[in-house]
Amino acid sequence: MDSDNNNNAPKDLNFAEGSEGMSTAVDYARPETRRKPVYDMNEDIVISGIAGRFPESDNMDEYAKNLFDNIDMVTEDDRRWPIDLNSGIVGRSGKLKEIDKFDSVFFSTFGLLADAMDPQARILLETTYEAICDAGINPQTLRGSRTGVYVGINTNDFDDCRRKEAALWVYGTSKALYANRISFMFDLHGPSTLIDTACSSSMVALQNAVAEMRTGNCEMAIVGTGNLVQAPFSNHVYTSIGLLASDGKCKVWDKRADGFVRSETVGCLLLQRRSQAKRVYATVVHAKTNTDGFKSIGLFSPFWLRQRDLMIETYEEADVDPQEIKFFESHGTGTNVGDPQEAKAIADAYCKDRKEPLLLGAVKSNLGHSEGSSGLNSIGKVIVMFENKTIPANLHFQEAKPEIEVVVNKTLQPVLKNTAFDGGIVGVNSFGVGGVNAHALLKSWDKELDPDAHKIIDPIPRLVNVCGRTQEAVNHIFDFIEQNPEKVNREFLALIGEPMKSQAPKGSAGFPYRGYMIVKEDTLEDGTKQLKYNRTINNAASSVLTETKSPYPSVTCPYRAGNYV
């Protein structure tokens, strides 16, 4: 589609002017020319922000709780289509709690276009904003920066686009625009790329982002992904070719394994160089991709030899001893072809001369297979693991499939209960149906050893400033602080304040409700200490927006992702 031919686009597609949301930020003052920063290309690249929606999980904290509570996040209900349409297919799937709410005013997407936009695209905008805030950055300060956007998406089930207006269908559902829309909305000037390599899409997007940062082509990078199961048609197709499990459970490595169950995920990562990051969830030691090429078993079958080669090349290029890897998060779909091939590759690459079993994770057993976005589930799980120093258990494993000898003899050992993890480097694997493989090594960050960890923190009493679209949003953050004192540490309080330090003159208008809370420590009569709170909330724009209500009230300030145990 050529942009020169878009003069006749419906007026409703145009960027709204004068709204009290993101659109006003186009007037945010920034230099006419921005000098390209000079970076050390050997500097560590880290994940500094993350936000996501997962099955039965609105955020990383809920995702962590469900993982550590060993909850099966796959359900059967009528949230996507009537149950009577499940005839001939398994009705279970992993579903986000809500996909029909979108603050179109804030994101300056009005009229018919907001209705016609694929919900994946809407939620990508929300989670991008949240991931940036989670890194302690005011999104307005990124305008004009060479921030790259890399979005990995494979499927698009959205078919309720009012096709009577052809332009709406094109602009609302074109996968090519998923990344471009983020770049446009946040005024980001780096690469903007949509990647579709089937089930490895999000991991390939991560690899692309890391590679571009290492060449200096972008200052930082947003890695986004999405998958929503919005219509039953694909389920019927997948069932007819034997891909879906008969009981709707991913029984990875198990002798009962007979396929996967479909699932949903939408989310984003923010990547920065270590010296620029205010928070570090994990260091991306290395990420690499390859392709199977020709193989006698056919295009659509995974090939252990090419996966093994990729794993070896990844740790050799990163100068990592494979014996250092104590945990490996597999692609693990629960299929009769994929599991044996991947297990053989992992064992051959990582387990030669290994004295102890390599612990094996498979998050699809917990929430299903979200296809192109499944890599984010794995990375999110690893971040949760790093933050809590605990590996969540896999589900639905009883007895190893006899054909997978390396699991039978415990060379590879699936994690069957929540297990302590003392940090280090882990492997994350992904592969797509067309033969595109992706592999990454992620390293935990020991905050206790971080020499800068305490430099930006004032001792309590602490003044916490927040702003939100609604009074409910501000109270949501304050409630979180009061109800989770174990999570309200120095890093959390500092990062909440960071985005408030650099408000754009007009860009802050999208958050008319402001509040502050004083957090202080009191000593009780028995000598124990407790935190006390005092909150105040005002509407900074009450004369204009008294009636404003957001259908999505929680886009405000950063959380500490997944800190649960």
Per-residue model confidence as pLDDT tens digits over 52-82: 999 999 999 999 999 999 999 999 999 998 8
| Region of residue 454 (left: phi > 0; alpha: psi -120 to 50; beta: else) | alpha
Tokens standing for 209?
A: 């982002």
Per annotation, catalytic residue among 161, 268, 286, 331: 331
pTM of this prediction? 0.88
Separation of alpha carbons 427 and 134, rounded Å? 24
pLDDT in the model for residue 11: 47
Closest Cα partner for 25 from 99, 93, 107? 107
Q: Is 253 within a domain? A: yes
Kindly tell me the sign of the dihedral angle through the C-alpha atoms of 320, 326, 332, 334. positive
Give SS3 for 218. coil
Of 222, 257, 282, the residue at which a domain comes to its end is 282
Please check whether residue 395 lies inside any domain of the structure: no
Last residue of a domain, one of 238, 264, 282: 282
Q: Is residue 298 part of a domain?
A: no
Examine the residue annotation and report whether 369 is marked as an active-site residue of this protein: yes
Contact 271, 218 (CB under 8 A): no
Closest CA to 547 of 475, 465, 471: 471
Annotation says 199 is catalytic? yes
**Cβ-contact 361, 279 below 8 angstroms:** no
Catalytic residue, chosen from 161, 250, 351, 369, is: 369
Task: Flag residues of the chain having pLDDT under 70.
Answer: 1-39, 159-167, 448-460, 500-509, 522-532, 539-565
CATH number at residue 266: 3.40.47.10
Residue 37 placed within a domain:
yes
The b-or-e profile of 347-386 (16+ CB within 10 A means b, else e) is bbbbbeeeeebbbbbbbbbbbbbbbbbbbbbbbbbbbbbb
Q: Is residue 101 part of a domain?
A: yes
The CATH number of whichever domain residue 517 belongs to comes to 3.30.70.3290
Domain span at residue 537 reads: 462-545
Residue 103 belongs to a domain:
yes
Using CA atoms, how far residue 197 sits from 75, 122, 289, in Å, is: 27, 22, 11
Among 133, 161, 199, 268, the active-site one is 199
pLDDT of residue 57: 98
Q: CA of 164: how far to CAs of 112, 114, 156, in Å?
A: 12, 15, 19
Quote the pLDDT of residue 48: 97
- Domain assignment present for residue 365? The answer is no
How many independent structural domains does the chain possess?
2
Of 247, 282, 317, the one marking the end of a domain is: 282
Residue 426 lies in a domain: no
